[in-house]
């Protein structure tokens, strides 16, 4: 009878220990899932921000390409018959500079 009671106590302690360990494990798993979700949300926000920045930079690149194309049409340095000369003419250079 005493041995049965001792075994029962051991089983109860083991079950309680197992229950506590299972709770700890579930809590740890939940915390890990929460952390991953927060990281996911943060990366989504960063991704959205970077996509916006890409859009702005693409627009700026298109604008600057157009400005360059328009400038190339009127640039005296590009139309100079002596453009193989390494020293540019000062008057041609100043006419290309923005005012």
Residue-range domain boundaries for the chain: 1-56
User: Which structure tokens are listed for 2?
Assistant: 């005493």
pLDDT band, residue 48 (cuts 50/70/90): very high
Cα 77 versus chain centre, distance: 42
d(CA 69, CA 49): 30
75-93 in b/e form (b: 16+ CB < 10 A) is eeeeeeeeeeeeeeeeebe
pLDDT tens digits for range 3-28 = 788 889 999 999 999 999 999 999 99
Look-up of token digits 């920045």: 53
- The pLDDT value recorded for residue 78 is 81
Q: Cβ neighbours of residue 92 under 8 Å, at least 6 residues apart?
A: 76, 77, 80
Q: Retrieve residue 19's tokens.
A: 């229950």
**pLDDT range class, residue 33, cuts 50, 70, 90:** very high
In sequence order, the 6+-apart residues with CB closer than 8 A to the CB of 96 are 71, 75, 76, 77
pTM of the predicted model as reported, rounded to 2 decimal places: 0.57
């Amino acid at each position: 009878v005493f041995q049965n009671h001792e075994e029962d106590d051991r089983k109860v302690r083991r079950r309680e220990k197992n229950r506590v360990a299972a709770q700890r494990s579930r809590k740890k798993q939940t915390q890990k899932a929460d952390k991953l979700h927060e990281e996911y949300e943060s990366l989504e926000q960063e991704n959205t921000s970077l996509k916006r920045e890409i859009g702005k930079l693409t627009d700026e690149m298109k604008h600057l390409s157009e400005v360059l194309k328009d400038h190339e049409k009127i640039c005296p340095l590009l139309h100079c018959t002596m453009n193989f000369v390494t020293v540019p003419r000062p008057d041609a250079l100043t006419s290309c500079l923005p005012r």
